[in-house]
Each structure stands twice: as structure tokens, then as C-alpha cells.
Amino acid sequence: MIKGTGTDFEQVITSMQVGKQEVDEANAGNDIGLKIEEPVRKGDRIFLI
């Protein structure tokens, strides 16, 4: 789930990267990149549900 001031949607994660490498899992504290299908804004929050 991604929530913010003007953002509120759920999405299945189809692509996640750590250090520009495709991964299936990430550890706490890792900076990750996600493929997002809708616009997001700085300050939006991502929740695992």
C-alpha cells in the first residue's frame, strides 16, 4: 500500500532492486527500488500488507 497526501493505492510488487540488482527479498535498512505503476510523490509512505 502506498499512501500520501494525494496518493492512496495498493499494488503487487513485480520488480524490486537493491544496488541496481534485481532481488526477491531485501533486508531491513536496505535502500530499495520498486517498479511503481502510478505516480507517487516525495513523502509518500510504503506499507507492507
**1-49: pLDDT as tens digits:** 999 999 999 999 999 999 999 999 999 999 999 999 999 999 999 998 8
pLDDT at 1: 95
Distance between CA 6 and CA 40 in Å, rounded?
9
pLDDT at 2: 95
Burial class for 25, CB neighbours closer than 10 Å (0-12, 13-18, 19+): exposed
Q: What is the pTM of this model?
A: 0.71
